[in-house]
Amino acid sequence: MKDKINILTIITYGVILSSISILLNDMREFDFNQFTAFQNWAKAANKTDPWFTSKNAIKWSFYVISAALFFWRGYLIYGFSYFLSILKEIEIGNYFSDKNSKSFKKIGDIFTSYAASVLILRFLLASIGKSTFNFFQEFKTELTILIPCGLAFYILAELFKRAKATEEENELTI
């Protein structure tokens, strides 16, 4: 049992580290100099011009939304760290602890909020004309996995809560 937990912990660490390295690489490839260009534009821009029609402002919105997408990906990786917490609890024998139930709920929250936020942000990206957005195409790809996974974690959280109550009842049966 302990060997399996150790293997799962190593796999989880591998997933977290590779996700972080992919995210950092994507951030490295992202052109952050555009933010400086926007700041320079903002200083020189004519304040009487309508904000939304400005080409630079639209461009800036694209970078802000892209940065938000990076943030949500980071948040999703943070969600993976809860697996380590669950594995640690299992290792010490607290299978149905409150901590595990809360961790499963938290992972469910992160997965569903990530899926919903990414969907909204990609829609916004499409609306400012920087990407192609097809609602059904989005659902076909990663969101079809993340939303059911999030729901599965909510179900697991509820199951663990019930299991804890049953375990307590069993312990108090003389």
Partner 1 sequence: MPIRVNLDVMLAKRKMKSKDLAEIIDITTANLSILKSGKAKAIRFSTLEAICNALDCQPSDILEYVEN
Report the interface residues with partner 1, using CB under 8 A: 168-169, 172-174
Candidates 5, 146, 138; CA nearest to 79 is 146
Q: Which is nearer to partner 1, 21 or 166 (CB)?
A: 166
Residue type, 151: L
Q: Which is nearer to partner 1, 44 or 172 (CB)?
A: 172
Q: Which is nearer to partner 1, 3 or 171 (CB)?
A: 171
Question: Which residue pairs, CB below 8 angstroms and at least 24 apart, start in 148-155?
Answer: 149/111, 150/107, 150/108, 150/109, 150/110, 150/111, 150/112, 150/115, 151/108, 151/112, 152/108, 153/104, 153/105, 153/107, 153/108, 153/111, 154/104, 154/105, 154/108
Q: Which is nearer to partner 1, 22 or 165 (CB)?
A: 165
- In the bound complex, what is the minimum distance in angstroms from residue 21's beta carbon to partner 1? 50
- In the bound complex, what is the minimum distance in angstroms from residue 86's beta carbon to partner 1? 27
- In the bound complex, what is the minimum distance in angstroms from residue 162's beta carbon to partner 1? 15
Those residues whose C-beta lies under 8 Å from the C-beta of residue 102, and which sit 6 or more positions away, are 157
- In the bound complex, what is the minimum distance in angstroms from residue 6's beta carbon to partner 1? 34
- In the bound complex, what is the minimum distance in angstroms from residue 170's beta carbon to partner 1? 8
Q: Which is nearer to partner 1, 49 or 167 (CB)?
A: 167
